[in-house]
Structure 1
Amino acid sequence: MPLHQPDYELDGFEPADDGHQQHYEDLDISSFKVLGEYRTYTDAYFVLLDEGATYGIPGSPQLRAVHVSRDLRARTFEVDSKELPLYAMAQSYLIARGCPSDALDAPEGVHDPADDRTRALEARVRGDGDHFALLASYTDDMRDPVQTVVMLRSLDPQAAPEFRILLEQFDWDSNSHTLREGGFETYAAAVDWWEAWSDEEAPALPPPAPTARRSPAQTAPATPVPPVSRRPQGR
């Protein structure tokens, strides 16, 4: 199914301020294609694929969640968006901004869940997006199948395990994907798995069953990024 460029429907509207104008200009490029969209009379929500991302910084997220809101009386608009590595995470971002939870499914044949485990986990990611901080991600579109790995940290100090890794594998032939989850008691254990994945030697993800809480000495850095070659900001 061919993808199309987004239409933000902003003819006759002015940005609410210079920041929103700049944000709009940053999104008004031909490499963005619509994977999912939902509109109301005043708001529009998009999950966009950046087809140019593969030529940019290696590992960068290739999806962007976009929310456009229009003030019909003032004839102004506001735009906010965020790069995110997984479709369900983009949905979660937009749901938090007023989009109905079931309104942004990708068109059939574009980005289909391959099995029930994937559907169930994506539903949980959509609903729990504000419970976790995104620590790092890497999209490797040179692998077959394409793989995206994401490291999350729970924002609940009582949650166990504190660290999660999500692994998506996307098959171009079927346009379908699987999503799997692993739980790690410590940041160091999560990084060890990430490094093994970077070397294409990753073991199976450990089930995210509850574990004992760690001691304070094992707490992760405030803004950790796995010290591996395939980190989000470059090789």
Structure 2
Amino acid sequence: MSDELDLRLDDLGPANAASENAERNFWAGDLTVLAEHHTTPHGSHSYVVAHDGSVTWGIPGEPQVAAIKVARNLSLNTCTFEMAYHASVAFAQNWLIERGCPPERIAQTGGDYMQPADDLTLQVEQQIRDSSTRYQVLDSQTSDYDPCEAWTLTRDSSAAQAPIRVFLEEGDFAAHTYTLREGAFADEATAQTWLHERGSALPQPPEYRGDAAALRTRAALTRSAGASALSKAGPDAQSAPSVGTAQRPIPGRSM
């Protein structure tokens, strides 16, 4: 585990079996902090987005971005510990926001990470962070090299058409940037076929069509608000281990 991450668990025991198991997995990881928020007073809660470098040596394709929530009961000297893995930083941030983290406190990642390549990437990231329980994650894949990408396959509960949505993140090490795009499919089988064959461009969601100006405006507003100019960081290939591009937090870049 990275020395940079201190969840102040000394003298606190897990409150239940689930917390004990999650804490065990936490100590077994090789975590580099991408974003964190610790509440006051008394630091009763901690919320962390981290890249787990140990995953790169495990099963190929597994998600490498960890979302961690710790709630401390100082009067009982116990804590509840929750931890979940995601293919992308934005989905990890969404998970924490749904568990009480203030959105503005977890939206930006620190460090010398890859930067969003364009306004649309910023807009899609913000869309994911703000989505609440809109997206049901069905599958994901992280690839460190050739291709450098990560994707998350979801079902969009608010979509009137093409409810299966793919969020594809692709990294460019030379430019030190990444892009995030949303694709729409009628069913899961069609989406999986596209992901495996890549025989055509990622199909845009129906709501994008004819709304290019509105998309540009929303993206510009997102950028100016600073909601996620650094939102998707992943470790840099030259300064840390690599993770998939859509979520390949190579310490230095967390797509």
Q: Does TM-score exceed 0.5, indicating one fold?
A: yes
Structure 2 CA distance for aligned equivalents of residues 97 and 103 of structure 1: 13
- 1:11 aligns with 10
Structure 1 CA distance for aligned equivalents of residues 151 and 143 of structure 2: 8
- Within the candidate set 137, 141, 149, 1:138 is matched to 141
1:93/1:30 Cα in 2 relative to 1: closer, same or farther (>3 Å)? closer
**Alpha-carbon distance, 1:57 to partner:** 0.4
- Within the candidate set 203, 206, 228, 2:203 is matched to 206
Structure 2 CA distance for aligned equivalents of residues 44 and 89 of structure 1: 18
Structure 2 CA distance for aligned equivalents of residues 78 and 147 of structure 1: 33
Report if the CA contact (8 A) 1:109-1:176 is conserved: no
Q: Which segments of 5 or more consecutive residues in structure 2 lack a partner in the other structure?
A: 209-255
- Within the candidate set 109, 116, 133, 1:106 is matched to 109
Q: TM-score, normalised by structure 2?
A: 0.74
Structure 2 CA distance for aligned equivalents of residues 193 and 148 of structure 1: 14
Amino acid at match of 2:154: L
1:9-67, CA deviations, whole angstroms, 9 ceiling, x for partnerless residues?
A: 01121211233122212101351111111111210011110112121101000111000
- 1:62 aligns with 64
Amino acid at match of 2:138: L
Q: CA RMSD in A?
A: 2.0
Q: Secondary structure at the match of 1:188?
A: helix
- 1:178 aligns with 179
Structure 2 CA distance for aligned equivalents of residues 205 and 18 of structure 1: 43
Q: Which moved more, 1:173-182 or 1:62-71?
A: 173-182
Choose between structure 1 and 2 for higher RCO, CA contacts under 8 A separated by at least 6 residues: 2
1:27/1:109 Cα in 2 relative to 1: closer, same or farther (>3 Å)? same
- 2:119 aligns with 116
**Alpha-carbon distance, 1:73 to partner:** 1.7
Q: Secondary structure at the match of 1:128?
A: coil
| Alignment map for 1:64-83 (pairs within 5 Å) | 64-83=66-85
1:135/1:88 Cα in 2 relative to 1: closer, same or farther (>3 Å)? same
Amino acid at match of 1:24: E
1:137/1:86 Cα in 2 relative to 1: closer, same or farther (>3 Å)? same
- 1:22 aligns with 21
Percent of residue pairs bearing the same amino acid type: 31
- 1:225 aligns with none
**Alpha-carbon distance, 1:108 to partner:** 4.7
Amino acid at match of 2:179: T
Q: Which moved more, 1:74-83 or 1:9-18?
A: 9-18
Amino acid at match of 1:97: R
- Figure out how many residues of one structure are paired with residues of the other and give that number: 203
| Alignment map for 1:160-199 (pairs within 5 Å) | 160-197=161-198
1:59-78, CA deviations, whole angstroms, 9 ceiling, x for partnerless residues?
A: 00011100001012222100
**Alpha-carbon distance, 1:103 to partner:** 1.3
Report if the CA contact (8 A) 2:34-2:111 is conserved: no
